[in-house]
Every structure is written in C-alpha cells, then in structure tokens.
Chain A
Amino acid sequence: MKKISVLLLLLLIDGLAPAKGEVAIPQPADLGLVEEKRLLKAVETAQKAVRNSPEDAEVWGQLGHLYLSHRWEVPAIACYRRANTLAPDEFRWLYFLGRLMARREPAAAAKYLNRALTLNDTYAPAHLYLASALRILGKFDAARQHLENAKDLQPDNPFSELWIGEIAFAQRQVKLARTHLENALRLNPDQSEAHALMAQVATVLGDKETAKKHAQAARQPSRYSTLYDPLWWDVLRAGVTAPLHAERGRRYMAAGNYADAVTEFEVLISRTQKDIDVWLDYGVSLLHIKKYLQALAALEHAQTLLRSDEEVRKQKKPDEIAYLQVQTYNHMAQIYYETGQTDAAILTGQKAIQLFHNSVRNAHGSDKARDSEYTTFLANVHANLATAYEDIGQLEQTIAQYQKALQLLPTKSALHRDLAGVYWKMRRYTEAEPHYKRVVTDDTTDVQAVYRLGLIFLTKGDYKEAIARFEKVIELDASHVRAYEAVGIASKEIGDIPAAIGAFEEVLKLEPDNKNASEMLKQLREKK
C-alpha cells in the first residue's frame, strides 16, 4: 500500500504539467516550519538554479543533495529521478536513488542500483547498498554475491564479512557464519553487530563462555569503520544547518583532517553556543593543528559551561558532565605539555584523575556500559602524566604513573614498552626485563625491545639467550651495527671465536672506522 502512495506521489511530482514557462519543483512539505535562515536561503538558491536550468541534471542533483542532507527524502527522490531522466547514464543519480530508497522501497532500490552497477561496477558502496536491499527482499544468494564484490573492491570494509556472516547464520550455516564474523571482527574489533551475532553463534555451538564475552561486547556502542563512500560527501557538503556542520566536522576529525574540522566548527562557535560537544570537538581539532592558544580558550570555555551553565548541565547526567570535564582537563594538559608548560600539564592531568575518581567512576548510577571506555581513557591520562614527569626528570613519578596505567590496561604493549624504557634509562635492567619480554611477545619485530632484551641477557651473563636475541635483531635489521657488535662480544665470552670474528667483520663492513671492532678483531685473530 505504501508502494502505491509513494509511487503516486513521485509520479505526480514528476508528471505535473507546470504552467507555461514554469518548472515543477518538489517541495518539502514542512518547509514553512523551518526557522534557520541559512537553510531557507540555500533552498531558494538551489531552486532558482533549477528554474534557470531545468534541463541540467546537475542542478537537479544539487537540489536533491540539499534536500537529502536535511532529511527531506521524498522531494530528494523526486529531484534525483529528474536528474536521472535528464542524464540516464550518470552513475551518481542512480546510486543516490538506490541508496535513498534501500530503506523505503527495497525493490525499487535494487533496480536503481543494478542499473548504476551496469554503468560502474567498481563502486563498492553501491554493491553494499544493493546487497542490503536484496537481503530485505529475502534474496540472500544475490546479496551474498554483491557482498563478495564489495569485499574484492574494498577488502578492508568490515560490512561485507559481517553481512555474509549474518546471511550464513540466517541460513543456519553456523560455522560458516562464525568464520565470516571472525573476519569482520579482525577488520573492526569494536563492531558490536558482529559481537551480537557471535554471541548467538557461540551459544548454538555450545561455547557459553565465548557467547557471554561477545554478548558483553555487543552491549557497547558500535564503532563503525567508516565506509569509504566519497559520493556521500557530495550530500554532506550540501548541508547548511548546525547539525550538518557538526557532522562534517566530526567526520573530518575521524579522518584526521583537523584543519577542515576547525573550519566546520568555526561556523557554529559563538557565545550563545551551548552544545558542549561542539566546543570540545572544536578545541580538540585546534589542538591537533597546533593552534594552542585558541584551543585552550575553547576548552576553557567548555570547562566554564560544564561547571556553571545550568542549560548545559541539564543536558547530561552528572557523571557524564564530570567525564566531559575530565576529558577537557586532559586535553588542556596536553596543550600545556606541548607548549612547554610541563608543571601546568602535570597539575591539570592530576586534576583530571582526581575528578575522574571522585565524580565519574564512583558516581552513583555511573554508566557501567562505558567501563571499558573509562578504563582506557584513565590509563591514557596516567601515561600522559608519566611522559610529562619524564620530561622534567622525575623518573620515580614517571614509573608510578606507568604502573597505574598498566594496572588499568595490563595487556597494552605500548605501556610496557614505555615503562621498560624508563627502567632502562635508570639502568634498572632487572625491572625492565619482564616488560621488554612482554613487548617482544606481543611484537616479535620490535627491534629496540629485542636488542635491549639481548643486552639484559648479556649483562646477566646469559650469552646464548643474548646471542639469540641479537641474531633476531640482525634478521630484522641487517644494518644494525650494535647487534653485530654484541654478537661478537657474547660469542667471545662463550669461546666461539669464529662467530665472534665473523660478527666484528660485519661491524667493520658497516662501520669501517670502528676502532673497537678493529681492536677486537685483532685480539680474536691472535687468539685463534
């Protein structure tokens, strides 16, 4: 029945006979309720362009983008249809029609996307949206084929694997589903959707513990890997309202493009802006492009709003407010650190930690689902503090902060590496050893860690272990002179003179002027 209604509407909009010289332009039904002048102006301009060039598919498409970006989907569909009529061989209009209708009229969407793919079958998102439409229509085999195509075109997109897994599960191919879901989770470990289905798969396979683990992960908000869909940016860029500037800003941030993010947020910044997330994102983006003074001003303003603006404080729960304050302090500490104000950085970092313990983690009714996020965040604050302490030479404090971070995230390799580095600097090799071992377990190719572990074995007189580590270093980096040198020393100690000679010869090949190696070679050859 809906099919009748929407199709009728579209036919009528398309088929209306305009008055002589006039163009029938699809109108958003609630345009009269719009208060934002920028949007009204943009609509007026885009419609005027259509009136001026009614046979130009591009201007129809632009009007469609403007409508779609502001969630006026039905008139957007009509615009894209007109664009498609005027330029039937243009991939974009078919793609947008298909993408837009996939969640309204999947059968129609499938037709548009199939036609789009005859024009360009290398655009992965078109395959994904077609697969989505086909799934809704129950055409699993065809959907699976398009998911395979999308996987070939964009091997790192986790949606293909996820959806193939979902289809397999719906068809009770449980083990096949598990394989694909595991692949999806390798591509994006934070994809809650994959965890949710893995929980079911594990339940069916009788693995209760794994099922519980995935069920817990499924409760966390999903963190999608962004689907690489450059055409969608055409739509996003058409948006002129505040939410769209914010959305674009955040997408730029996610892509690491902080300069463009700042440009988007700047439009929204004024003394009356009460969206705390906008202030924070603006401040963080400024920090990343090293505009420290402005970043600090933005974050301080955010801090003031969080502390004393009733309107802002009403928007969120007390523990959420506190968490935002803690995050703000952490960013401010980063700015102080980057600008050489290490004492201020330490003070602000400590304030962040204190506030976190007082008002976030211990808050009544704090969000348990965010425990993992909280833990990671707090560990990072401790690690940042450690870095600051290290800079001013307070190494005991540095160690204490890294240890606190490791209590929170005991498996995080980078923390082991950093702590080991501090011990190393303080020549506390015995204490550095277990941390380097952990680093090497996690990453057998970490040259520095393997080398230093070798040196620790060397100082302990465990020459064979030491040689094994140094040879590993040489395997990873054949130009590592110090490793050859160390192999030479260790080999000499265990009496393997030929090996020692060979090692020092390698040193001299790489550093012909190395006097120590020359001297050692001389001694060894005399011994021989």
Chain B
Amino acid sequence: MSDNTFLTTLCAVTLTVVGLLVWTGRAETEAPLFSEVTAELGLSQTETTWPPGTHALPEIMGSGVALLDYDQDSDLDILHIRYPPPRKRNSPAPNRLFQQQPDGSFVDVTEASGIGHTGYGQGVAVGDVDNDGDLDVYVTNYGPDVFHRNNGDGTFTQEDIGVSNDGWGTSATFGDYDRDGDLDLYVTNYVRFDPETTCRGKHSAPDYCHPSVFEATTDRLFRNTGDGTFTDVTQQAGIAGMPGRGLGVVCLDLTGDGWADFYVANDGEANHLWVNQTDGTFTEEAILRGLAFNAYGQPEASMGIAVGDVNTDTRPDLFITHLFSETNTLYIAANDSGFIDMTEVAGFAGIDLPFTGFGCGFLDFDNDSDLDIALVNGRVKRDDILEGADIGEFWNFYAEPNLLFQNNRTGFGNAAGNFTFTDVSTRAPDFTRRVEVSRGTAFGDIDKDGDIDMVVGSHDNRLRLFRNDAPPPEHHYLFVRSITDNRDAYGAQVTLRTESRTLTGYVLPGTSYLSSSDPIVHFGLGSIDKIEAIEVRWQDGSRETFQGTPANRRITVSQGEGVPF
C-alpha cells in the first residue's frame, strides 16, 4: 500500500467513525426536526447507480420538483422533473408523477396521467392557465419546453399553446402581470451551451465550465390571451434587451405599487428586476433597487430564490442561494422601496459560505411564528471530498450537506433590525447529514399535520421527502388558501392581524430553484390561537378583509367575498 493510499484509507475510516460519533451524540439528546420518509411513502428510486459525469454543464444543474394537488383531492402530489443520466442521453428518463393516497403513501401514476415527458427536464411551473379549477403544468427542458393541460380527470394532454421556448429553460413561473385575470408565464433561460466546449481547472484537470464561457440568453415572457393560448411578448415587454444567465425567478410586487414584477436570479452576473410599468412593459431596475449585487457591489452566482416577510413589516424579503465562497444573500425590503443586503447581520454567512446553494425556502418549520430557512447544496466545481460523501467516485467531489437555519426572532418590524439565524442543521440529521448534490426543492404540508414538509431532488434523479417533526404541540398554525377567478390567487399578499402580531405571507408557488411549491400560505402562530382578521391584497391591487378565525385549521378566502378596504 502506498503512503497516499494508506493515508486516504485511514482518513476515510477515521472520518466515518468520528462523523458517526458526532451524529449519534446529537441524535441521543434531541428529537430530529425532520425525518426522511421517502422509502416508507413509496417514493422509490428507479436508477440504482448514476454514471460518472462527462463535465457537460446540464448534468450538474439538476432539476426541479413540484408539490401540487393535480387531482383536486386536497392532498399534495409530487411531480419530479428528470433527465437522462450522463453518457446515456438516449436513455429516456420520463418525468414522474406520484399521487398521494388516502393513507399518505404515494403511487407512481406517470403512465396513466400522460405527463411523463422524456426530455432533458429542468424546471417546472404549475398554474391553472384556463381558470377551470385544475392545475396545468409547464416543464422547461434543456431543449424544447412542454406544456401539459390538466384534463380534470387525472390525465394531462401535451399541447402547443404558444409557449414554445427553444433555449435552455430553467426556472419558470406563472403570474398575472397584466391584471387581466389569467396567469401569464415567465421562463428564464440559462446559457447557449456548446457540448463541444471543455474546461479545465487551475490544476489542469477537466471540470464543469463556468457559465460565463457560454453566451447569455434572453428570458421569455408569454402573455395569456385568455382564449387558451399565449403570445410571446418578450420583445414588446422590453425583456429582450438584456440577456442573462437565469436560473431562478419569482413573480410578485417588489416595488410596493401593487403590480407584479419579475425578479430573476442570474448566475455570475447582475440579477434582473423587471419592474412592471403597468402598460405591459418592464424596465430593469435591479441595481437601482439594490437587488443586482451583494453588499460588496459584486455580482454573485445566483441560483434559487426564497421569498418571505422575515422582519414582519409586511414587505417581501428575499433570500438568494449562491456559489461556494459567496454568501447566500438576504435582501431586506427597506422603507425607500429598495432592498438592503443584510446577510452580514443575519448570522448565517459564516456557516454557509463554503457551500453552493440551490433550492431554498423561507418556512416556519417550528410554527413559532417566524420564518426559518432551509437550503440544499451541491457544488458545480470540484473541491475536496467532504466526509460522508458516498455517491460515487466522480460525484463525491461535488457533494455537500444541506443546511437548516432557525430564526432567533429578534428585531422585528424594521429593515435594520438585528434579526439573526442559528444553524440548527445538526438537529435535522436526515435532511443535513447526507452529503449529496441536491438541487430542486419544494415546500408544503404533505402529510396535512399543520407544518411544512420538504421534497428535494438531486443530481441523480433521486427524490427525498422530509417530514417535518419539529413543531411542539403548543405551537399553532393556520393555512390560508386564496382564490380568485376559480384558481389560486398567485401574487396575492395575505396578512394576519392578531392581538400581538402581524404576519404576512405570499401566494407564491414559483420560488426556490426549478421548482414549484404549494401555493397555500402557511403561518406558524406560536402561542397565538386566534386570528383577529385576515387581510388580502389581491393581484389586481384590490384589498379585502376577512373575518378572523381560531388557529389550527385550513381556511379559504375568495376574492369578492371579503370586505373591501
């Protein structure tokens, strides 16, 4: 045995032992916050081994996952977007739809549903584009994207409705930017990838190319014409003038004028904030409003986007995941309609700096009435192997653990408040112990027990479902579904008034990375057991207030049934 082999072996053995000791010690003292229930709920993995990569960029970018109630039976089903393994591009990997059964388990209904497209799947957007009460699905691909219309009987039909996008589509989102009552579609495009281009690191070994090696591309905006088809309005809306390397997108009002804007996370360059001019056009104002760069004035490799009112001032704040050596960035909405990068005071920058983040979300996982953060990681450049990595010789270089941060609940109600987060990753070992290449992540109360669960996709088409076991029984909750025009009111802002607190959430399924979450707004309430009033600012700018309600239930508010104010 050579010196090197001896040392490597010894290292691996010792690391494993020490790692186990660390985790065992934690597990004995505290109940885990999340438990993986993938296998026990029937979400089996089809591929047993994932081939080594070829350093072609698409294979490291992962894919998305959607939590949606496609069959309208009031529980969440799972749509997993997939792609063929490296070196096996002709081996079909259909997207898979898992239907939740009454007992909480899942059954693969891909074939019966007709949604198993076999492209090089990337992202997913979910929305009821024809206001018929069921959820339609748009899937982006490295290759032509596809639209699946929900037939309302458990099946989908792939249709050409004028939303063709031949770029490398990544995240996509539905939103009613023109306030005409139907959902429009924004699709981010990444780069013009050239499979012949190869890249090497500083030590001359081959690796994945930096996206800047490839040409930036233009995103696409499609306007819903209301007759079941869409029109490409990219050019006339003003989006075409500024190509980017887009990976994440959200659609909501970020300027406080009541009109939906689009915020695009670009990889390695300035993010874009397309501000709605209310006449069908947009202007790009990310630099002016503090959302293009980090606090150092530098562009970052932006991937996923989380949206939530972290400091409870009713304005949406943003959390963007980034590359190793860049912080994940927390932008807090300020009084002057701009945003301030408050990452450095949030307390997680020293923890997440070494990781490359992708899927992410603000979620009040412990129902204590403040927003926590979950994010999943995995490199795009080779680095030293971390202990616990066991996903194959090639992929171990890219594997990283996930992270969970708990809000310390201080400094509410002002932009410069001293809100901080604590790393509680060790308390969620199922979610954070595995060292993998995780990507798309979606959030929702899958088991309907009053808290937010997570589903995570990995680079190897693996799906993991994490059940939330965190909230103590004394912590209350409320779910609010907001309906307009027979569909979820995407972009609406829901505010709960209680005796002691004001909490705000957003009807926003299209967040995170390549993924779509449950649009029903979840509120952790802590000890609050009664809501005084519910206020909704609808996507069309109107406002209504609804009667209060006791906690621990699911309620639905419909536009037009409240009291305008």
Contact = CB atoms under 8 A, between A and B. Distances in A.
Given A12-B15, A212-B288, A71 B201 contact: yes
Given A12-B14, A138-B345, A200-B338, A104 B202 contact: no
A344 interface: no
Interface in A4-22: 4-6, 8-9, 12-13, 16, 19, 22
A28 interface: yes
Interface string B179-215: 0000000000000001011000111111000000001
B39 interface: no
Contacts of B215: 317
Nearest to A110: B350
Interface string A183-207: 0000000001111110110011000
Contacts of B354: 2, 6, 104-105
A204 B288 CA distance: 9
B202 A196 contact: no
B233 interface: no
B397 A29 contact: yes
B401 interface: yes
Interface residues of B, number: 67
Interface stretch (A238-246, A262-270, A480-488): A238-246
A1 B204 contact: no
- The main secondary structure of chain A at its interface with chain B is helix
B297 A196 contact: yes
Interface residues of A, number: 72
Interface in A219-271: 219, 222, 239, 241-244
A204 B353 contact: no
Interface stretch (A31-39, A327-335, A424-432): A31-39
Contacts of B350: 105-107, 136-137
Interface string B276-313: 00000000000111101101111000000000000000
A193 B296 contact: yes
A33 B206 contact: yes
B349 interface: yes
A75 interface: yes
Contact of A75 (B3, B206, B384): B384
A135 B295 CA distance: 10
Given A24-B7, A211-B288, A244-B202, A1 B297 contact: no
A68 B7 CA distance: 21
Interface in A321-373: none
B344 A137 contact: yes
Contact of A1 (B196, B289, B345, B423): B423
Given A16-B7, A28-B203, A71-B202, A136 B270 contact: no
B288 A200 contact: yes
Contacts of B355: 2
A34 B14 contact: no
Given A22-B3, A36-B204, A166 B296 contact: yes
A218 B287 contact: yes
Interface in A102-124: 103-107
A5 B204 contact: no
B341 A170 contact: yes
Nearest to B22: A4
Interface string B413-435: 00110000001011000001000
Interface string B333-376: 00010101110111101111111000000000000000000000
B386 A5 contact: yes
A30 B270 CA distance: 32
Contacts of B351: 1-3
Contacts of B565: none
B14 A196 contact: no
B338 A29 contact: no
Contact of B202 (A2, A75, A243): A243
A215 interface: yes
B394 to A, nearest CB: 10
A171 interface: yes
A314 B214 CA distance: 11
A194 B297 contact: yes
A2 B377 CA distance: 12
A103 B353 contact: yes
Interface string B1-45: 001101110110011001100100000000000000000000000
B101 interface: no
Interface in A469-497: none
A195 B287 CA distance: 10
A69 interface: yes
A103 B325 contact: yes
A467 to B, nearest CB: 51
Residue of A12, A74, A317 with most chain B CB atoms under a 10 A cut-off: A12
B289 A74 contact: no
Given A71-B201, A203-B288, A218 B297 contact: yes
B403 interface: yes
Given A170-B344, A219-B287, A19 B6 contact: yes
Nearest to B388: A5
A203 B297 contact: no
Given A106-B350, A137-B350, A196-B292, A16 B297 contact: no
B451 interface: no
Contacts of A69: 202
Contacts of A16: 7, 10-11
A215 B293 CA distance: 11
Contacts of A106: 349-350, 353
Given A136-B353, A170-B340, A196-B297, A104 B325 contact: yes
A172 interface: yes
B485 interface: no
Given A8-B18, A39-B203, 9 more contacts: A1-B401, A5-B386, A8-B387, A9-B386, A25-B7, A33-B205, A72-B203, A211-B288, A314-B196
11 contacts: A27-B7, A28-B203, A28-B384, A36-B203, A70-B203, A103-B325, A138-B345, A166-B295, A166-B297, A196-B292, A218-B297
5 interchain residue pairs of minimum CB distance: A193-B297, A196-B297, A36-B204, A70-B203, A33-B205
